Amino acid sequence: PTLPYDEGNIFARILRGEIPNKTVYEDEHVLAFHDISPKAPTHVLVIPKGAYVSWDDFSSRASDAEIGAYVRAIGLIAREAGLVEPGYRLLANVGEDGGQEVPHLHVHIFGGKPLGPMLA
């Protein structure tokens, strides 16, 4: 990993149940919940339960089962939120230049309005 995993990061605390969240999906490997500061009518964060800093860390170290569960879950959550027909956006910020603020891998799901060419 680029950085050692910080067990005190906010999503680690959510996974330990120390901070409440509005869960939209959970399985053995994955948790998804509403972003606390939504930037679209639907703004969900999907995280692996394992201790992975970023997309880079996850894609290089996670098991095929974890990766499969994660990719499947992201699709399922978007489908169940009714976003497929209107369309939606997936985003993963990685590292400093990527603007990643929380050092636990998360994919953003945005939807519920026309999002334009890029989300600022």
Beta strands in the chain (DSSP E): 23-26, 30-34, 42-48, 88-91, 107-111
- Which C-beta is closer to ligand 5GP: that of 99 or that of 114? 99
Residue type, 58: F
- Least Cα distance to 55 among 16, 8, 15, 98 occurs for 98
- Which C-beta is closer to ligand 5GP: that of 76 or that of 102? 102
Distance between CA atoms of residues 36 and 102, nearest Å: 13
Told to judge if 34 belongs to the known catalytic residues of this protein, a careful annotator would answer no
Binding track, positions 16-55, relative to ligand 5GP; x by CB under 6 A = ---x-x-----------x-xxx-------x----------
Which parts of this chain interact with ligand 5GP (CB under 6 A)? 10, 19, 21, 33, 35-37, 45, 93, 99-102
Active site residues: 106
